[in-house]
């Protein structure tokens, strides 16, 4: 069973990862290590302790570090909880294998229950959008709104270019190939950024054992009733954003689905996070009870 649990390759790789991780991470108000049926999940709280909680779910192998430029705006609206996804590189420690995608949603639901959180406003970026949608399917009553930022594998698969680059990087653990994959995904070289270096080291250092990321079944998406905002970047290379957006709009007709024409997978966040935070916070306020 241990072979099917995500873990670091060796102690040296783990130490290098956490040195970069601590440098990139914004110091939180509180650190929670929440026990679940599948291991302990690391959660950071930022901002005030009272108010409607915003829960941030990061992209694949990204950890909570890249949320740093978003925190000023989000914490102005209430408490913010950034989750290091269980089974990926970061502060969480997996001890029991995930048997299915539903297990990942169950683990996240247990985290929120352990923190005493309900009526949460979930904001998921990239793979975090997939996990957030899985949470809504598993525990719809726990979620007040779902904001998806360039969500991958919710309604469409990864592009072939990302698939084969990711496979090569994951199998070889070659820094050169990991760098090439990240530059291809982001559309430019941002590897000098501390949070991007965390991703690079995480891919090299950590062996994930996650269920395959595949689009959600149509019947599950049709059953979604919570308010949904989904923003896609038309110029991304990670997936077909227009096709993904169209299908999401068809299956979740009440969702607000937008395709931003001049940005890629990062939605321009590396230059200015305000368009994203303003859009998300406007949506959250509209539905905040």
We report the CATH number of the domain holding residue 265 as 3.40.50.1820
Can you give the pLDDT at residue 271?
Answer: 76
| Average pLDDT in the chain | 92
Q: Is residue 95 part of a domain?
A: yes
What confidence tier does 3 reach under pLDDT thresholds 50, 70, 90?
A: low
Q: Is residue 266 part of a domain?
A: yes
- Residues of the domain holding 142: 2-6+27-157+211-287
pLDDT in tens, 18-75: 999 999 999 999 999 999 999 999 999 999 999 999 999 999 889 999 999 999 999 9
Q: Is residue 169 part of a domain?
A: no
Can you give the pLDDT at residue 2?
Answer: 44
- In this prediction the pTM is 0.94
Q: Is residue 103 part of a domain?
A: yes
Q: Is residue 67 part of a domain?
A: yes
Rg (the chain; Cα; Å): 17
Q: Is residue 268 part of a domain?
A: yes
pLDDT in tens, 10-22: 999 999 999 999 9
Better pLDDT: 280 or 60? 280
Can you give the pLDDT at residue 1?
Answer: 39
Q: Is residue 256 part of a domain?
A: yes
Q: Is residue 132 part of a domain?
A: yes
Contacts of 97 (CB under 8 A, 6+ apart): 1, 4, 5, 38, 209
In the block, tokens 């059953």 appear at 223
pLDDT in tens, 150-199: 999 999 998 888 888 877 777 777 777 887 877 778 777 777 888 888 98
Alpha helices in 42-120 (DSSP H): 71-75, 101-114
Q: Which helix (H) or strand (E) holds 163?
A: helix 160-172
Query: What's the Cα-to-Cα distance from 114 to each of 32, 33, 131, rounded to whole Å?
Result: 10, 10, 18
Domains identified in the chain, total number: 1
């Amino acid at each position: 069973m241990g072979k099917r649990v995500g873990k670091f390759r060796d102690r040296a790789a783990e130490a290098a990862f956490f040195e970069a991780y601590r440098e990139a991470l914004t110091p939180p108000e509180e650190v929670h290590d929440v026990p679940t049926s599948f291991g302990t999940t690391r959660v950071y709280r930022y901002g005030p302790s009272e108010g409607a909680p915003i829960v941030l779910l990061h992209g694949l192998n990204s950890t909570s570090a890249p949320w740093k430029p978003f925190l000023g705006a989000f914490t102005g609206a209430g408490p913010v909880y950034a989750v290091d996804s269980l089974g990926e590189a970061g502060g969480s420690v997996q001890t029991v294998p995930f048997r299915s995608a539903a297990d990942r949603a169950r683990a996240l639901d247990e985290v929120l229950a352990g923190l005493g959180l309900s009526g949460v406003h979930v904001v998921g970026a990239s793979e975090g959008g997939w996990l957030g949608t899985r949470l809504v399917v598993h525990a719809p009553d726990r979620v007040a709104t779902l904001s998806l930022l360039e969500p991958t594998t919710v309604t469409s698969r990864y592009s072939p270019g990302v698939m084969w680059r990711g496979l090569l990087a994951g199998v070889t653990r070659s820094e050169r190939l990991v760098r090439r994959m990240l530059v291809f995904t982001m559309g430019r070289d941002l590897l000098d950024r501390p949070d991007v270096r965390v991703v690079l080291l995480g891919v090299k250092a950590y062996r994930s054992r996650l269920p395959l990321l595949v689009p959600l079944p149509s019947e599950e998406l049709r059953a979604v009733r919570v308010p949904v905002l989904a923003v896609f970047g038309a110029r991304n290379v990670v997936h077909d954003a227009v096709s993904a957006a169209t299908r999401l709009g068809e299956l979740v007709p009440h969702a607000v689905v937008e395709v931003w024409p001049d940005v890629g997978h990062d939605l321009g966040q590396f230059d200015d996070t305000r368009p994203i935070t303003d859009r998300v916070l406007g949506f959250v306020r509209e539905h905040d009870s």
